[in-house]
Amino acid sequence: MRQRVVRVAVAAVLVALVLLAGPLAVVGQRSFFEDERGALERTALAATVAVGPEFTAGDAVELPRSRPGGQLGVYDLSMRLRAGTGGERGDAMTRRAAGGKVARGSSGPDLVVAVPVVSAERVIGVVRASVPTRSVWNRVLWAWGTLLGVTLFALATAVLVARRQARALSVPVEALSRTATEIAAGNLGARAVPCGIAELDQLARTQNTMVERLTQLLRRERDFSTNASHQLRTALTGLRLGLEAAQGMPPGADLRPAVREALDRASHLEETVEEVLRLARPDTAEERAVPRELLVRVLDRAESRWHGPLAAAGRRLELRTSPGTESFDVPGRTTGQILDILLDNTLRHGRGTTVVTVREAAGAVAIDVADEGTLALGPEAVFARGSTTGSGTGIGLAVARELAEAAGGRLSVRSSAPATFTLLLPGTEG
């Protein structure tokens, strides 16, 4: 790219110099010859003053000095040289001037101007002034050489400026290319930096915006896979255990309770899939909107799902509600998913009695999930993806916080010892 920019710039400057220097050289040549003719004419006119009426009688004439390297002579009407320097006989230019008009032109290798000498309104002689054409051409060539030197200097300056400008243009473009190559190689953290050139800065911003959106899409795709595997694992495990329990029942036993429980598990599994899909959609209000229902129903379903697993681990589950919270409605599926994650977390990593407390908090609903264990990680580190101190994946709490924020709420650590998580949701009274 640099060489191309330099070539274009130099070609443009070269065309401009040719278009300027060519006519200037022609005009300079003509100007030198016109100036020389004018100087010869002035010299000849000055010499005519020295030629008086006595010239026809044969008196001597004292002429002024001729042009350097030139000749100056006076001819009578018979074209004989009477004074000064020049050919013994007058040439064509001299004869033309004898007709009464100034003659300008060339005669052999000389540039000649012949001026008639007039006395009493008649021509009595001719003054001829000449210089070698070679001397004029020497000055023309010197001027052309100077013009050529200036042109070459301008061209060299243009090359230097073009190289500098090419570097100024190519360095940001090369940086953009390197950034694009890094992104194509998988480094989605690479970002283009501004360079001060408006068009390239706009291109860099567009590229960065594209990478940001691509990163978000890839993160959503990756998070969807991990969220789905994490969220579906518990629901599928419960469904499988229920079906295995029904399979182990004796022949003739009433399977309807087991079927109802399996259907409830399947319904919960369907809600889990929908919630994970909703979380992976773009962040718009319409996409995030979920059906609302009474909080007490959500809590009852969560208690029915987790009472058995906690009891099997030798632990109790207590549900405590403050007066006035029974009529609050919340995003049902989202709240159920968050409670599932928190209760699964306390089953895997906590100990002792698990207490779910519902209370009103300045017009919102606060749900505390606590056990008798202690958090080994900090209040923020515990929500980082992949952050875990046990055998878990470190995904659940991160998903729970994302679900809470998607519903317009907030999930935080209220206490590290005993371990207490608080889910704050914008609830409305039904």
Q: Would you give per-residue pLDDT tens digits along the chain (430 residues)?
A: 677 777 777 888 888 888 888 899 999 999 999 999 999 999 999 888 888 888 877 777 788 888 888 899 999 988 999 888 888 998 999 999 999 899 999 888 999 999 999 988 888 899 999 999 999 999 999 999 999 999 899 888 888 888 888 787 778 888 888 888 888 888 878 888 888 888 888 988 898 888 888 887 777 666 666 655 655 666 666 667 667 666 777 776 766 776 776 776 676 666 666 666 666 665 544 445 567 788 888 888 888 888 888 888 889 999 988 877 777 888 877 888 888 888 888 888 888 999 999 888 877 888 899 998 888 787 778 887 766 655 556 677 888 888 888 778 889 988 888 889 999 888 666 5
Domain boundary (113, 135, 150) is at: 150
Answer whether residue 17 is part of any domain.
yes
Answer whether residue 136 is part of any domain.
yes
Instruction: Give the H or E element holding residue 159.
Output: helix 133-184
- Own/partner pairs for 321-324, CB < 8 Å, 24+ apart? 321/296, 321/357, 321/358, 322/357, 322/358, 322/359, 322/360, 324/360
Domain boundary (115, 150, 185) is at: 150
Find, among 173, 134, 120, the residue nearest to 5 by Cα.
173
Q: What single letter denotes the amino acid at residue 178?
A: R
Answer whether residue 281 is part of any domain.
no
Find, among 85, 136, 74, the residue nearest to 106 by Cα.
136
Q: Are 425 and 331 in contact (CB under 8 A)?
A: yes
3-state secondary structure of 413: strand
Question: How many residues are given for the chain?
Answer: 430
> Which two structure tokens, joined as six digits, stand for 68?
């350097």
Q: Are 207 and 176 in contact (CB under 8 A)?
A: yes
With vertex at residue 300, the alpha carbon angle to CA 296 and CA 303, rounded to the nearest 5 degrees, is 135
Cα dist from 10 to 25, 120, 183, whole Å: 21, 66, 35
Answer whether residue 167 is part of any domain.
no
Answer whether residue 160 is part of any domain.
no
Q: Are 70 and 131 in contact (CB under 8 A)?
A: yes
Q: What are phi and psi of 78, to 5 degrees?
A: -85, 5
Token pair 């070698």 is found at 132
> Phi-psi bin for 323: left (phi > 0), alpha (psi -120 to 50), beta?
beta
Instruction: Quote the domain boundaries for residue 309.
Output: 290-429
Other Cβ atoms closer than 10 A to 430: 13
Bond into 172 cis (ω within 30): no
| CATH number of the domain encompassing residue 420 | 3.30.565.10
Pairing of the two strands 317-321 and 354-361: parallel
Domain boundary (130, 150, 170) is at: 150
| CATH number of the domain encompassing residue 89 | 3.30.450.20
Answer whether residue 40 is part of any domain.
yes
Number of compact structural domains in the chain: 2
Answer whether residue 313 is part of any domain.
yes
Cα gap 116→222, rounded to integer Å? 106
Find, among 115, 85, 75, 110, the residue nearest to 97 by Cα.
115
Answer whether residue 164 is part of any domain.
no
What's the pLDDT score for residue 287? 46
Beta bridge partners of 421: 369, 413
Distance of CA 82 to the CA centre of its chain: 85
Cα gap 6→155, rounded to integer Å? 12
